[in-house]
Structure 1
Amino acid sequence: MQSIIKNYSSIILLLIGISIGSLVGLFLPAVVPYIKPLGDIFLNLLFVAVIPLLFFAISSAVANIEGNNRLGRILTTMSFVFIITIAIAAILTILGLWAFPVTAVSDGQGMDEALINAANDSWGDKIVRFVTVGEFVNLLSRQNILAFVIFSFLVGISVRKSGEIGTPFLRFLIAGNEVMKNMLDIVMKLGPIGLGAYFAYQVHELGAELFGFYAKPLAFYYIFGTVFFFTMFSLYAFIARGKRGVPLFWKNNITPSLTALSTCSSLATLPSNLLAAKKIGVPSGVANVVIPLGNTLYKNGSAISSILKIYVAFSILEWNFFEPSTLFMAVGITLLVSMVAGGIPNGGFIGEMLMISVYNIPNEAIPAIMIIGALVDPPATVLNATGDTIASMLVTRFSGEKFLQIDDQNQDNGTI
């Protein structure tokens, strides 16, 4: 019991903060204008933190990759596996929401003038605006976050090409990444107060029906996520290693699943994932590359929740989620969210900041996105973390590497 309370303490505190905020919004409406600034401060701190955190996380990860032929082949295959399977998760979620709508979606007449003007831009203008900026200083704005992600990747590649002379800068990136993770942890400790204050404002503005609003989206995630977990992961295991792959995966996936569920951290599940991959027969040379990188870059649970959060935000704002360009962009954002969610508790908040920035989502929809993210954290972490083992199996299959027999594993040194 103490272990559960410890591991879920952040979610429990967040729920307490939301509950108190809800009661304040219902029964003490006069207090709401005085506590709403606390919510604004919390959101502003997150917006300020997102840019440096993205830079250090992405550039240090790319710079740390050491290249040669075998590693290049594994990384190339890994990239295809990550992109294709995350896209599959996003598309299946969209189809699920289309077949089983969980909130009312309007005809899009609620779009504000800025969104209408943006919709009139040509695709060429949209691409230029999303991936580049005209001045370096503009990279530091969250409005240009896609361009900043690309810049961070280029910095990481440049550090690799700089060789030994770039080593001090690499150490700076690694240290900066650790510092910003700690900063995020500090900011997130304010979550119960910040989101509680914002939730009080929403309850005051929208009334008691707000509680019913979250029930259907959460039910959709838990049901859809469970079906996806057992169905798609079994299919991937079969594709990777035939009939033998399915029972091998599920037999060795029990411990990682329970670890992910109890800790709500992909990073904490990493050791048990590596052990599971070894027992399944994934060569350590593949597992030691794919699983650690997948810990940060590969998030099935985040992909599903990303689509759901965008859908919910659009419902609140009465925007048309099922417009083709919106769906196309949602899949693209989902791929990016999977890369920046990270392997730390509450890392999904960074991905939420990304989608908020890209869609220019107004403040009134932001707490709903973040609250849903917190409430689906346990099943999302299971999908995120255990998906790394599945990915390592698929990479082994498609990269030309060979699965090892149990007796062979002691001879595999994992050298790349």
Structure 2
Amino acid sequence: MQKLLENYNSILLLLLGITIGSIVGLFFPDSIPFIKPLGDIFLNLLFVSIIPLIFFAISSSIANLESDKQLSKIIYWMTTVFVITIAIAAVATIFGLWIYPVTAIANDAPVDNSLLADTNQNWGDRMVSFFTVGEFSELLSREHILAFVLFSVLVGVATRRSGEAGKTFVSFLNAGNEVMKNLLIIVMKFGPIGLGAYFAYQVHTLGPELFGFYAKPLGFYYVFGIVFFFVFYSLYAYIANGRLGISSYWKNNITPSLTALSTCSSLATLPANLASAKKMGIPNNIASVVIPLGNTLYKNGSSISSIVKIYVAFAILDWNFFEPTTLITAVGITILVSMVAGGIPNGGFIGEMLMISVYGLPNEAIPAVMIIGALVDPLATVLNATGDTVASMLVTRFSGAKFEIEEHNG
């Protein structure tokens, strides 16, 4: 019993903090303005740790790879896993809506048009800002996280190609990686308080809105999303490493799931994912590449919500969603939005604009789907963030690498 408590001590404390936060959010709403700053402080500590953590994790991992062929294999299988599983999420959602159709009720709630204005930028300029920045200092912003990830990859590749002259720099990267891991451990000590405070805010803010006009589509998303979370992620873990894969995934996925649910931020969950990946036995060279890239490019929750949004828009307009061309186009939009929009500020609105241009939707259908997008965010973040580790497990399996599960869970 004592050993069990030692192993799950941090998780139990997180659950206690979140439980207390939920109670406070429900029954003591006047205290939220005083409690939320505690959550913001914790979240800010995570965010300022993420940039150096990503740099050292990715660069040191690539610098220590044996060959360029090994990196190419990881990137190939990562891309394959991302595209196929995002498409699976989209098709499964379509099938779920066909079995259990839901009807949305349009709402005249105002929409922030300043956010929509950002989408007027042409796609060429958007791709340039997606992958690169004009000044080095801009790399250190969370708004340009994919550009920073790609920069870290290039630093790792350049270090490997420097040979003997780069050995000192490799030692620096390895040391920095260890230092940032220990910084994460220190920051997570404040997790129960920080996540509890933020969860109180989430319950207080979103709770009443979940039972309004959007109850049916939201009910579908949350029920389907939870089933998808447990069934499909368990299936992926089994494909990756059999029954041991399932047990190691769920045993070590609790902290990332709670972090994602509390913060509604995939980026804030990234450090917890990297720490959990090691305990799952995922090789460091795979986890350090797939998880940071997946944080931007791999979003199962967004895939499911994209299909639900398109379905709701068609339902509002009384159009036939289940026409074959519409369904194929919906899957294509979903893959594009899930893998591209994540790295763009206000990227979630790219999906709405893409829907308008592809399907010729009238503007009055857009506020409803934007509201749905906001209300499904907690579960969508859990699906987006925790999918990165199970994707890393699949990449480990298909790339021919070996799990180190005995070392970390023995």
1:238, distance to aligned residue in structure 2 (A)? 0.3
Give the direction of change, closer, same or farther, for the CA distance of 1:169–1:148 in structure 2 (3 Å limit). closer
The residue number in structure 1 matching 2:226 is 226
C-alpha RMSD over aligned residues: 3.7
* Matches of 1:394 and 1:231, distance apart in 2: 15
Matched residue, 1:354: 354
Contact 2:78 2:290 in 1 (8 A): yes
Q: Would you say the 8 A contact 2:238–2:246 is kept in 1?
A: yes
Q: String of CA shifts for 1:78-132, please: whole Å, max 9, x gaps.
A: 0110010010000000001011110289xxxxxxxxxxxxxxxxxxxxxxxxxxx
Equivalent position amino acid for 1:78 in 2: M
Q: Give distance in 1, aligned partners of 2:89 and 2:404.
A: 29
Q: Structure 2 counterpart of 1:286, which letter? A: I
Offset at 1:70? 1.5
Take 1:291 and 1:71, find their aligned partners in 2: how far apart are those partners?
A: 14
Q: 1:329 maps to what in 2?
A: 329
After superposition, the Cα gap between the structure-2 partners of 1:258 and 1:345, relative to the gap in structure 1 and judged at 3 Å, is farther
Q: Contact between 1:238 and 1:244, CA under 8 Å: does it hold in 2?
A: yes
Q: CA deviation at 1:362?
A: 1.6
Give the 3 Å change call, closer, same or farther, for CA 242–359 of structure 1 in structure 2: same
From 143, 153, 167, the equivalent of 1:178 is 143
Point out the more displaced range, 332-341 or 299-308: 332-341
For residues 155-206 of structure 1, give each alpha carbon's deviation from its aligned partner in whole angstroms, at most 9, with x where no partner exists.
95xx8xxxxxxxx85748747983799xxxxxxxxxxxxxxxxxxxxxxxxx
Partner of residue 96, structure 1: 96
Pair 98,224 (structure 1): closer, same or farther in 2 beyond 3 Å? same
Secondary structure of 1:292's aligned partner: helix
- Note if 1:397 corresponds to 2:397: yes
d(CA) in 2 for partners of 1:263, 1:343: 18
CA contact (8 A) 1:143 1:358 kept: no
2 CA distance for matches of 1:362 and 1:104? 16
Q: Which residue of 2 aligns with 1:284?
A: 284
Aligned to 1:372: 372
In the aligned structure 2, how far is the partner of 1:356 from the partner of 1:92?
A: 23
Residue of structure 2 equivalent to 1:123: none
- TM-score, with normalisation over the residues of structure 1? 0.59
Matched to 1:363, the amino acid is N
Match status 1:78 vs 2:78:
yes
SS for the counterpart of 1:282 is coil
- Cα deviation code 1:38-88 (max 9, x no counterpart): xxxxxxxxxxxxxxxxxxxxxxxxxxx999322111111001100100100
Equivalent position of 2:381 in the other structure: 381
CA–CA distance in structure 1, aligned partners of residues 304 and 235 of structure 2:
18
Alignment check: 8 A CA contact 1:266 1:344 kept: no
> Aligned in 2, Cα 1:290/1:223: closer, same or farther, shift over 3 Å?
same
1:248 maps to what in 2?
A: 248
Q: 1:301 to 1:179 in 2, by over 3 A?
A: closer
1:342 aligns to what SS in structure 2? helix
Structure 2, gaps ≥5 residues long:
1-16, 30-61, 106-117, 147-210
Structure 1: unaligned runs, 5 residues or longer: 13-64, 106-139, 160-167, 182-210, 410-416
Shift of 1:349: 3.2
1:356 positional shift? 3.3
Q: Matches of 2:238 and 2:276 in 1, distance apart?
A: 16
Q: Is the 8 A contact 2:102 2:220 kept in 1?
A: yes
Equivalent residues in 2 for 1:163-174, closer than 5 Å = 171=136, 174=139
Letter in 1 for 2:307: I
Moved over 4 A (4+): 1-5, 140-145, 343-347
Contact 2:119–2:353 at 8 Å: present in 1 too?
Answer: no
1:303 aligns with 303
Q: Do the aligned partners of residues 282 and 96 (structure 1) sit closer, same or farther apart at CA in structure 2, a change above 3 Å counting?
A: same
Q: What is the CA-CA distance between 1:393 and the residue it aligns to?
A: 0.2
Residues 130-169 of structure 1 aligned to structure 2 (within 5 Å): 142=120, 145=123, 152=128
Q: Distance in 2 between matches of 1:261 and 1:69?
A: 37
Counterpart CA distance in 2 for 1:87 and 1:390 is 16
Structure 1 vs Structure 2: percent identity of aligned residues? Answer: 66
Whether the 8 Å contact between 1:89 and 1:304 is mirrored in structure 2 is yes
* Distance change in 2, residues 1:364/1:387 (3 Å): same
Distance 1:346 1:273, change over 3 A: farther
Question: In the alignment, does 2:239 pair up with 1:274?
Answer: no
| Cα drift, residue 341 of structure 1 | 4.0
In 1: Cα distance, 2:135 partner to 2:400 partner: 32
In 1, the alpha carbon distance for the partners of 2:232 and 2:351 equals 23
Aligned residue for 1:356, secondary structure, equals helix
